[in-house]
Amino acid sequence: MSNGAIRVGLSTSTIEPALTHGRLDGIGVYTNALLQGLSSLAVAADISQVQGFSFPHLSFRQGVAAAQCTVGRPMPHSFVVSSVIDSVTPKAIKHRLPMPVDVVHVTDYRIIRMNCPIVATLHDAIPLQYPEWCSPRLRQQKNWLQKKAAQKADHVIALSHFSVLELVKFFGINEQCITVVPCGVADEWLQAPAQDAIDATLAQHGLQPGYFLFVGTLQPRKNIERILMAYLGLPAEIRAVRQLVIVGRAGWQCDLLIKKILAAQQCGEHVVWLNSLSSGEQLRHVYKAAGVFVFPSLHEGFGIPVTEAFASGVPVITSNTTSLPEVSAGAALEVSPLSINEIGTAMLDLVRDEQLRARCIAAGLQRASQLTWRHTIEKTIEVYRSVL
C-alpha cells in the first residue's frame, strides 16, 4: 500500500458464469454489487486496484480449471486443494494471490490462509445450525471445512445484527472482530423500467400483472411449500385473476415441492414456475408487475429479495423471525412463517385493502432508499481501512 491507496483482492467464484451457469444467488448478487461498486468508487475512496480472483472447480486436466474463470484471475488450485494444503502445512506458510494486494475480501466461506489481511463476509450459520436444510452430500465434511475456514479471517462482515449472534455461537468468532454492514439495492431498482419492456417480459413468460410473487432458490428454508398452500387456500375468485409466480432455480430437497407445483398446474391452478430467468433486467420487470411479494422465509441472514421488492414499489409479506424484521424495519407485513393461515390472510389483506397496500408501498420505498449498495460499499471500505 502506497500513499494510502488500497489494493483490494475480491473473491469472485460466486459470479463466474462457468461455475454459476449465469444464475446468481444472494451471495452472487452481493459479490457482483461489491465488484461493481468498489470499482466505481475507487478514485473517490483512494482505491488503486480492485482485482477479482476465483477458485476453479477441482480438475485434473491441465488448463481446464483456469479456463473456467473469466471474471477473476484463477487461483493456482481449487478451494478443496488449497484447504488441504492449509491443513498439512505449517501456519507460517501462506497462499499468495496471482497479483499483489493489501487486503483480501472473501464473500463466502472459501477462506484460506493468505499473505495479507483477510476480510470475510459470512452470511449465516445455516449449515451448522440447520444441517437438515442443506445438501446431504459431504455435509459433515463441508460443515467442518466451513467452520475452520471462518476462523482464518482477520475480520468478519455480517449482514445483520441477527447474524452476529449466530456467527459468535456457531463459528466461535470474537464479536469484537465483526462489523455489521447491511446489503442494499442498486440505483436502477428505484427507477421504473419502461412499460413496453415490462409488457414484453410478461408476454414472454405468460404472466398477468398483479400476481403474487416469490423469488429465491427452491430449498426447504425458503418455505415455498407453505406459500403454495396459502395460495391454494385463497378464494377461487382471487386465484382466478391472480397467479402465483415462483422465480428461482431448483435447489436441494425440493423434489416434493416441484411435484406439488406441477400437480397444482395440472389441476388448472394459475401457478407459474420460472426456473430459467437469468436476465437481471427481466427480473426487475417481473418484480415491478407483481401485486404482492411473499417472502415468509424460515431463516435469512439478510434477505435481498425483500429490498428488491421494496424498491420496485411492491407491498411485501415477510417473516417475523431471524433477520427479516431488522431488514423490513416495519415496512412489510410480518407473519409467522410456520402459519399458513397468517400467510394467506396477509395475502388477502394486501389485495383487498387499498389503504394498507398504499401504506406498505410507501414504507417500502422509503426503506429501500435507506438500503443502497453505495452505502454498503462505503461501509465496507471503512472495514478495509480499519483492518489495515
How far apart are alpha carbons 10 and 296 in whole angstroms? 32
pLDDT for 1 equals 57
Contact 244, 212 (CB under 8 A): yes
Q: Which of 350, 301, 295, 358 is nearest to 326 (CA)?
A: 301
Residues with pLDDT less than 50, the chain: 60
What CA–CA distance (Å, rounded) separates 147 from 299?
19
3-state SS record for 56-104 = CCCCCCCCHHHHCCCCCEECCCCHHHHHHHHHHCCCCCCECCCCCCCEE
Do 55 and 13 meet the contact criterion of CB atoms below 8 Å apart?
yes
Rg of the chain in Å (alpha carbons): 21
Closest CA to 177 of 146, 152, 202: 152
Residue 121: C-alpha distances to residues 160, 164, 170, 173, 227 (Å): 11, 11, 15, 12, 30
Q: What is the pTM of this model?
A: 0.91
Q: What pLDDT sits at residue 138?
A: 57
Cell triple for 205: 413468460
| Nearest 10 degrees: Cα torsion 337, 342, 348, 352 | -110
Residue 214, helix vs strand vs coil: strand
In tens, the pLDDT along 86-143 reads: 889 988 889 988 889 999 999 998 999 999 999 999 988 888 788 777 776 656 766 7
For residue 269, what is the DSSP state? Answer: -
DSSP state letter for 192: P
CA distance 147 to 292: 38
CB of 333 within 8 A of CB of 360?
yes
Instruction: Compute the Cα dihedral for 65, 70, 71, 74 and give only its sign.
Output: positive
Q: All 3 cell numbers of residue 96?
A: 499468495
Q: Which residues contact 184 (CB under 8 A, 6 or more apart)?
A: 33, 307, 371, 372, 373, 374, 375, 376
pLDDT at position 139 is 64
Tell me how far apart the alpha carbons of residues 57 and 19 are, in angstroms, rounded to a whole number: 8
